[in-house]
Amino acid sequence: MSGAAVDLDLVQVQFTQSLSDDGEDVVLETYILAYEEINKIFGVLGSVFKFVSTDVEKKIDILRSKLQQTPESYKTVRSMIMYETCNNITDSDRNNGCRTLLRLHRALEFVAEFIKVLAIEQEDNISKPVWAAYSATLAQHHTWLIRNTVSMATYTLPTRQNILEQVGKVEDPESLNNLVSVMEKVYRVVETAYTEFQLLTLK
């Protein structure tokens, strides 16, 4: 929506377009475009979440660089996995695409849960449900120090009303459920690919 801090309608379109025709793969370039826009939501959450946004930007830059250098190999998530595993890139390059995407993949699960909170919660103070969403997703991959930082950050969150205003969804917050459904679909497709190649625990 024009004027909003984050265009969630655009994110929905881009994540939908990122899915392959058979629904079993994800086009990396379109995924990156969607992620660039959804990353803006961390700016809405306040300065405490700036470190998350910065980290996401770095990971997007890594993936985009690899996509530009070897476009065919990084066309989709599965082609990237095949290319990097067959060439031992996942072992030799710390900034390999599989590891980088895995971090974004984990964060996407949290963002979907966060948007679900915006869609269904009635209370204006969303600190507790956002903490619950984080605890069920990203917290499982974070150190105690990061979990503690996020715990404190949830108490500085803007109100639900304020966030809805900034993302242009005050009039129809329930429509966010459609975005959540698309994000969950993309998440499942990537999760399945990583599971098949045993990459979910990639360090």
Please work out, in degrees rounded to the nearest 5, the angle formed at the alpha carbon of residue 134 by the alpha carbons of 36 and 8: 35
Structure token digits, residue 141: 């991959």
Q: Which of 159, 149, 173 lies closest to 126 in space, CA to CA?
A: 159
CB 12 within 8 A of CB 182: yes
Per-residue model confidence (pLDDT) at position 1: 47
CB 78 within 8 A of CB 164: no
Structure token digits, residue 37: 């826009």
Report CA 175 to chain centroid distance, whole Å.
19
CB 179 within 8 A of CB 108: no
Per-residue model confidence (pLDDT) at position 3: 58
Per-residue model confidence (pLDDT) at position 59: 95
Spatial separation of the C-alpha atoms in residues 53 and 58, rounded to whole Å: 9
CB 56 within 8 A of CB 28: no
pLDDT tens, per residue, the chain with 203 residues: 445 788 999 999 999 999 999 999 999 999 999 999 999 998 888 877 777 888 899 999 999 999 999 999 999 999 999 999 999 999 888 899 999 999 999 999 999 999 999 999 988 999 899 888 888 888 788 788 888 888 888 888 999 999 999 999 998 899 999 999 999 999 999 999 999 999 998 88
Query: Integer distance in angstroms from the first to the last C-alpha of the chain?
Result: 38
